[in-house]
């Protein structure tokens, strides 16, 4: 059973219709770029709303508990929330970089080998910069170096 955090993060990237290519359509046409721009902007907006919710939650819930255990529990909860927001802040930065790639017409091609990343992969991971083969090789190398 998925945790609430996993459900919430998977919901952030849901809510779009998969792109339907037309026969003979060129890869990363204007329509495809518009599709991914919409996905990324929606994702960014949802992340920013989550940041605002966290700020309001922390302001509303901040209390000076006399019991040290209660105080420690609240500090731990806030610490976990701030760590999650920091990851989301980094993701927002990556979304902005990806939106710039779209604007520069450099989106959708592998940084390493230059082949098409693929529409379905980009829908699953809109900020992807490597094709599946190069990403797999990078992960294998990372495992070998980390061992």
Mean pLDDT of 62-81: 82
Q: Do 103 and 113 belong together in one domain? A: no
* Residue 7 in this model has a pLDDT that exceeds 50: no
Give binding residues for Zn(2+) as ranges.
110, 113, 131, 134
CATH of the domain at 47: 1.20.120.910
**Residue range of the domain that includes 62:** 28-107
Q: Do 62 and 92 belong together in one domain? A: yes
Q: Do 95 and 122 belong together in one domain? A: no
Q: Give the pLDDT score at 65.
A: 76
Q: For residues 101 and 75, which has the higher predicted lDDT (pLDDT)?
A: 101
How many angstroms from the chain centroid is the CA of residue 62?
29
Q: For residues 12 and 121, which has the higher predicted lDDT (pLDDT)?
A: 121
Q: Do 77 and 131 belong together in one domain? A: no
Q: What is the pTM of this model?
A: 0.78
* Residue 57 in this model has a pLDDT that exceeds 80: no
Residues contacting residue 16 through CB under 8 Å, at least 6 positions apart:
35, 38, 39, 42, 123
Give binding residues as ranges.
110, 113, 131, 134
Please report whether residue 115 resides in a domain.
yes
């Amino acid at each position: 059973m998925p945790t609430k955090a996993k459900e919430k993060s998977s919901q952030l990237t849901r809510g779009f219709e998969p792109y339907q290519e037309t026969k003979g359509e060129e890869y990363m046409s204007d329509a495809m770029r518009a599709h991914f721009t919409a996905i990324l902007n929606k994702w960014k907006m949802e992340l920013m709303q989550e940041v605002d919710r966290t700020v309001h939650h922390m302001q509303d819930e901040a209390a000076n508990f006399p019991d040290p255990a209660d105080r420690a529990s609240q500090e731990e909860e806030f610490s976990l929330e701030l760590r999650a927001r920091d990851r989301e802040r980094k993701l927002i930065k990556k979304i902005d970089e990806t939106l710039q790639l779209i604007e520069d017409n450099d989106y959708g091609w592998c940084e390493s080998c230059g082949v098409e990343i693929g529409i379905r992969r980009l829908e699953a991971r809109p900020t992807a910069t490597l094709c599946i083969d190069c990403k797999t090789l990078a992960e294998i190398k990372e495992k070998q170096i980390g061992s």
